[in-house]
Amino acid sequence: MTSTELRDTGLEENPVRTESSNAWWILSGVVMFIGTLVLLVAFFVEVPYFANLPGPAFRTDEFVTIPGQETTESSGDLYLLTVLRESVTLVGYVQASFDDRITLIPREVILPEGRTSEDKKRADQQMMEDSQQVAIAVALERTGYEVSFASDGVEVGEISPGSAAEGVMQEGDVIIAFENEPVFFSGDLVSRIQERAVGDVVEFTIERGEEILDLKVTLGAREPGDPTPIVGVTIFTVGSRFDFPIEVLIESQNIGGPSAGLMFSIEIINQLSPVDVTSGHRIAGTGTIDSDGSVGPIGGIRQKVFGALNAGADLMLVPEANFEDAVAALGGQDTEMKLVSVATIDDALQAMA
């Protein structure tokens, strides 16, 4: 074969190699595009879940001031605990699934159909305001002051579709009693409900216009397998009235919900009492406070245990109903922090003595 023939043979083969090369580049481009799209979805598109993460612990003396009164200087620190809630991407969901500090919650549990983030925020702020007033009342009673309080009841707001309350309660109903016991504040009602179990049939006495009705509701769950009983309504106190002999100011600093009630009460007592109730310790805690001094359960106990650890607490006060979950969360952690179960504020003060 001549050199010319060799060159001709090469020229005949080049078109075949070029078509194959073009196909390979096209395929590579498609694969890269799909890969990039998958990565964008994984990192930026949210899945229908929220993640509860440990939030910061705050010193309660930064929230509470008592003008015009001689207060006791504390040798220790009191901390309230918080939970951060964030939307989750696919990557975040996978990471959270392997992180013991994080709890994943279906979005519809936090924001049922028809409820917005703003609705949730308003409800949380209302519960915070109610809990502050009740915390002040309980603390002043424990330090020897006479206080009086009342309300017009607890009004029903939005009703979640498919909830236990749907078809039984109506928006605008005012709850005045639960299981034949008077109800004054939304926090008290939430605590009493959470002392029951999913599937329990409970009775609410409500005002609907000019009528007084007794309504039976079977308590539901937030989601299948969740032991926390719920009614499925938003509620808020109406016409609350407090008569306090001294002024106590609490600044919520954009924290919502009722779970700081216990620690607010203890902080007020610590400032007004001649004895430093901290005894020089770093004490973290959580729990709602009822008008009779009972401590109610809260959400996010796992995250709050880790928040207490991050704050370097010696002792963490835990509502009785959350104690088993708190012990489970603390298990395996290298710490000397002690958990104490409390059913009342008196239990908490005794544990700190």
Domain containing 248: what range? Answer: 54-82+116-145+244-353
- The Cα 285–Cα 86 span in angstroms is 23
- When comparing pLDDT for 256 and 267, which is higher? 267
Give the residue-averaged pLDDT of 266-291: 94
- The Cα 340–Cα 196 span in angstroms is 22
- Residue 111 inside a domain? The answer is no
- The Cα 3–Cα 252 span in angstroms is 91
CATH of the domain at 156: 2.30.42.10
Q: Are residues 341 and 248 in the same domain?
A: yes
What per-residue confidence (pLDDT) applies to 18? Answer: 61
Q: Are residues 264 and 120 in the same domain?
A: yes
pLDDT in tens, 162-204: 888 999 999 999 999 999 999 988 888 988 898 899 999 999 9
Reported as type and span, the H/E element at residue 117 is helix 117-142
Annotated catalytic residue, options 74, 191, 304, 341: 304
- Residue 349 inside a domain? The answer is yes
pLDDT in tens, 74-128: 889 999 999 999 988 888 888 888 999 999 988 888 888 777 888 888 888 888 9
Please calculate the CA angle 45-101-87 and round it to the nearest 5 degrees. Answer: 20
By the 8 A CB rule, do 174 and 154 touch? yes
The residue out of 242, 273, 289 marking a domain boundary is: 242
What per-residue confidence (pLDDT) applies to 42? Answer: 54
Q: Are residues 141 and 277 in the same domain?
A: yes
- When comparing pLDDT for 338 and 236, which is higher? 338
Active site residue 259: yes
Give the residue-averaged pLDDT of 205-218: 95
* Domains identified in the chain, total number: 3
- When comparing pLDDT for 10 and 259, which is higher? 259
Residue that is written with structure tokens 């008077």 in the block: 182
Beta strands 338-342; 315-319: pairing state = parallel
- The Cα 204–Cα 133 span in angstroms is 24
Annotated catalytic residue, options 259, 265, 291, 294: 259
Q: Are residues 65 and 125 in the same domain?
A: yes
Q: Are residues 200 and 328 in the same domain?
A: no
- The Cα 226–Cα 232 span in angstroms is 14
pLDDT in tens, 329-339: 999 888 999 99
- CA-based Rg of the chain, rounded to a whole angstrom? 29
Q: Are residues 192 and 291 in the same domain?
A: no
- Residue 97 inside a domain? The answer is no
Q: Are residues 203 and 157 in the same domain?
A: yes
pTM, full prediction: 0.82
By the 8 A CB rule, do 217 and 204 touch? yes
Q: Helix or strand or coil: residue 54? A: strand
Give the residue-averaged pLDDT of 143-149: 92
What per-residue confidence (pLDDT) applies to 8? Answer: 45
Active site residue 304: yes
Give the residue-averaged pLDDT of 234-261: 90
The residue out of 207, 223, 242 marking a domain boundary is: 242
- The Cα 156–Cα 148 span in angstroms is 25
Q: Are residues 134 and 277 in the same domain?
A: yes
